[in-house]
Structure 1
Amino acid sequence: MKTLHLLPLAFLFAFIFACNSPQKKINLTSNVSLVSNGVRIDYTDTGKGDTTLLFVHGWAINKTYWANQVAYFSKKYRVVTIDLPGFGKSGKNRTKWNTVAYGQDIKNVINQLGLKNVVLVGHSMAGNIVLQGCVDEPGHVLALVGVDNFKSVGIASADSVKDKQEYAKAIAAMKKDFKKVAIDWFNQGLFYKTTSQAIRNRILNDVTHTDSAVAIATQEWDNFNDVTALLKAKKKLYLINSDYQPTDTTGLVAKKIPFKLLIVHDTGHFPMVENPNAFNKLLDEVIAGLKG
């Protein structure tokens, strides 16, 4: 099932995902592109090291949301950020926008850039994407890091038929008035009381100026099963989640999926930009644990 996951508001709170720091203007070096299945992918490649951090952004935003992480982690590691096809500066010439297609992009990025010892970091929608990328290219991946996602893995809905009907209504609403629906979702479900106005404005500007056809297509129900994929990936799942909405780990425990939950307090859905210092500290902790 879908796990990003921009659903009608009441539905969203049950399903989605599954002190503020100012934004710094950081120049991302080596801004170039590669081609994955005929689609150009814009990326940055910064720093050096035996470990690579591959950062993948969430729905309707772009790779610049990792600027603070690039500046911090590239001092010790190779750091790659990408614009997913359909977003940012990447191409849009494709017809499939599902998790499987995006997972192939992650595999192609790893192979074409020769990445080794990769820590895949996926925000929001990209949680499933990096998970599929790991399933497709397990040999080079050290760990999976989800950022404010996988908040209800393995927890079945009481009425899956109704869920799909509600999901279809959400898609229809987006097709009718994309900007209004997107703004409502973010204002009522993804921002927190501490989210600064500057960050809110930035996100809403990027979301409302994205290609709505692509954005809607990425939200179509694609029957991706995160439990099956996590079991197949055979990697420990690290979750750096905000606590504005709780993370229910009972499904992960029940399915015996190894995980570690780390919490960024008092932020909304974008902890890497809302409190980059706290976020970076927790990701440092994840990497240190891998090396240990």
Structure 2
Amino acid sequence: MKNLRLLFVPLLCVVMFGCNSSQKNKNPSSASQVSLVSNGVRIDYTDTGKGDTTLLFVHGWAINKTYWADQVAYFGKRYRVVTIDLPGFGRSGKNRTKWNTEAYGQDIKNVIDQLGLKNVILIGHSMAGNIVLQGAVDAPENVIALVGVDNFKSVGIISPDSIKYKQEYGEVMAALKKNFKAVAFDWFNKGLFYKTTSKAIRERILNDVAHTDSTIAIATQEWDDFNDAAALLKAKKKLYLINSDYQPTDTTGLIAKKIPFKLLVIHDTGHFPMVEKPEEFNKLLTTAIADMQQH
């Protein structure tokens, strides 16, 4: 099931998250890499640092790879760090018609293959939680673990097959197609920002939303029957969650389905902890990586 509830909580009244410039390439080993192409679409990326372990950061809906700048600076000293603009966003290409989880998962696999990444920790924010999960399913031999950033908040809890859910889903999609900017701004202002989210960060995010390709942004939210619980079981990777607590994480589904996970909570922040509280976020990610290395 598509993770539409990542964005639609204020309108659907369900628990959240279960359901422009690029940086210069700092890695001499990849300086000759002119372009990265996935299924005919160019992917803009950064490749920083060295190491046997790679952190691959994937941004969420309507934003771009520059939101990981603090993590690149911090973790690039110890690991190889790759950030990408998902096709359709940032500086990546838009020349395709499929914008579902399956297509984006193939992009993750292609990035791993073309850059020769090994021992990869996939880190996906918001909508990209499902995307990196699909990437782990597609490239299991290269991926160590998954890190979700403010997502997977109700795995296995909400049924996408309910009549009420589908009706609400349809209503929200219709509203989004009718007035993209107004509806999207409403989601962020009412459901994704917190009282601690600074004015500068709010303005940055809303500016990126306003300038995103609305046709593609809407297409990424179309129903695609992705089942996060089933994919987590198939991936057989431990799931690490760095989640804000402005909306609680319900782990009962993860426990019931015996999906290995570790929840690391970042307090008093909104949906974008990597830019709202970068130092605290980096400490929690460091804790997650240390736990991975023990297994």
Shift of 1:46: 0.3
Letter in 2 for 1:69: Q
Shift of 1:82: 0.2
CA distance in 2, matches of 1:242, 1:286: 15
Change (3 A) 1:59 1:158: closer
Counterpart residue number, 1:200: 202
CA distance in 1, matches of 2:9, 2:149: 22
Counterpart residue number, 1:6: 7
Which of 63, 68, 71 aligns to 1:69? It is: 71
The Cα offsets for residues 25-58 of structure 1, whole Å up to 9 and x where unpaired, read as 9954359631000111000000001100000000
Where does the alignment leave 5 or more consecutive residues of structure 2 unmatched? none
- The alignment covers a number of residue pairs equal to 285
Q: So what's the TM-score if we normalise by structure 2?
A: 0.93
CA distance in 1, matches of 2:291, 2:216: 37
Counterpart residue number, 1:287: 289
The Cα offsets for residues 221-268 of structure 1, whole Å up to 9 and x where unpaired, read as 111000110000000000000000000000000000000000010100
Do the aligned partners of 1:26 and 1:68 also contact (CA within 8 Å) in 2? Answer: no
Shift of 1:15: 3.9
Do the aligned partners of 1:2 and 1:223 also contact (CA within 8 Å) in 2? Answer: yes
Letter in 1 for 2:2: K
Counterpart residue number, 1:138: 140
The Cα offsets for residues 125-162 of structure 1, whole Å up to 9 and x where unpaired, read as 00000000000000000000000000000113497112
CA distance in 2, matches of 1:26, 1:173: 32
Which of 265, 279, 289 aligns to 1:263? It is: 265
Q: How does 1:160-179 map to 2 (within 5 A)?
A: 160-179=162-181
CA distance in 1, matches of 2:36, 2:197: 34
Letter in 1 for 2:220: T
Letter in 1 for 2:277: N
Letter in 2 for 1:59: W
Runs of 4+ deviating beyond 4 Å: 25-28
Letter in 1 for 2:14: A
Shift of 1:7: 2.0
Letter in 2 for 1:150: F
- Mean Cα deviation higher: 281-290 or 73-82: 281-290
Counterpart residue number, 2:235: 233
Counterpart residue number, 1:104: 106
Counterpart residue number, 2:61: 59
SS in 2 for 1:138: coil
Which of 147, 150, 156 aligns to 2:149? It is: 147
Letter in 1 for 2:10: L
Change (3 A) 1:142 1:207: same
1:29 matches 2:25: yes
Letter in 1 for 2:82: V
Shift of 1:121: 0.1
Do the aligned partners of 1:243 and 1:264 also contact (CA within 8 Å) in 2? Answer: yes
Letter in 1 for 2:272: F
Letter in 2 for 1:124: S
Q: So what's the TM-score if we normalise by structure 1?
A: 0.94
Counterpart residue number, 2:17: 17
Letter in 2 for 1:274: E
Change (3 A) 1:158 1:3: closer
Shift of 1:16: 2.5
Change (3 A) 1:94 1:158: closer
CA distance in 1, matches of 2:22, 2:65: 12
Where does the alignment leave 5 or more consecutive residues of structure 1 unmatched? 19-24
Counterpart residue number, 2:220: 218
